[in-house]
Amino acid sequence: MSTDTKVVSQADVATAVRRGILAGELVAGQRLVEAELSESLGASRGAVRAALIDLTHEGLVERIANRGARVRVVSVEEALHITEVRMAVEGLCGAKAAERITDQEISALRALGQEMTEAVENGDVVGYSQLNQRLHESVIAIAAQPVAAEVLSRLRARNVRHQFRLAFRAGRPQVSLPQHLAIIEGVCARDPQAAEAAVRAHLGSVLEALAESDAPA
């Protein structure tokens, strides 16, 4: 994990660690050593310690007695609960995005949908996963609902390990692509009900896939 500018504040440290978790640079169970973070981010040990406490309250970090802090491991059961909340909040963002989208944003979303289609056709799983994330982020940004955006950012960071596992499951891109295209269509048609329904249907599919991953063999 690196940063382009020198990080000095507690809030900046928390943001850097949070982004590292979201990007998969910091993985579940990985130790977060204060001295290493202080050196790599250019922050004081006090700022790092306070930031890790904040991230513990957010559910992203856990502190183990006599062992320090680590990226929190989220169970499948908790991932299911997180996805249920995402379904409600992100569905709201889909509806808001449909109400607020501009012509320029419509063109950008449709182009993104075409890129996603080509990635699946070419078997580019990594590229498709990145485009998948861009789509969700784009819809949330278009929605312009800052409270929802903050909630979703924290939920996605907590659930990132399971998101990566699903993204690389055989056949998953072929399942999720039409769902993502339906989200794009609903938002671009400026149809709030269709957009919200498409988001909820997609995340309902994610719930089913997560539940299957936890089923006994």
**pTM for this structure?**
0.74
- Local confidence band at 6 (pLDDT 50, 70, 90 cut-offs): low
Residues 48 and 116 reside in one and the same domain = no
- Phi, psi dihedral angles at 138 (to 5 degrees): -65, -45
In a domain, 91, yes or no: yes
Residues 62 and 80 reside in one and the same domain = no
Residues 151 and 66 reside in one and the same domain = no
In a domain, 3, yes or no: no
Residues 64 and 139 reside in one and the same domain = no
Residues 6+ apart with CB under 8 A from 100: 142, 143, 144
Percentage above 70 pLDDT, the chain: 94
Q: How far is CA 204 from CA 57, 85, 88, 125, in A?
A: 28, 11, 11, 21
- Look up the domain containing 18 and give its range: 10-71
Provide mean pLDDT across the span 14-40.
Answer: 87
Q: Which amino acid is at 8?
A: V
Residues 6+ apart with CB under 8 A from 49: 34
pLDDT digits (tens, 9 = 90+) for 81-135: 999 999 999 999 999 999 999 999 999 999 999 999 999 999 999 899 889 989 9
- Is the dihedral angle over the CA atoms 214, 26, 183, 90 positive or is it negative? positive
Residues 143 and 160 reside in one and the same domain = yes
Structural domain total, the chain: 2
The pLDDT value given to residue 215: 47
Which residue from 77, 83, 79 is spatially nearest to 204, judged by alpha carbons?
83
Which domain-ending residue is among 71, 95, 112? 71
The pLDDT value given to residue 216: 42
Which residue from 134, 144, 131, 136 is spatially nearest to 101, judged by alpha carbons?
144
Residues 6+ apart with CB under 8 A from 29: 70, 71, 73
pLDDT digits (tens, 9 = 90+) for 180-189: 999 999 999 9
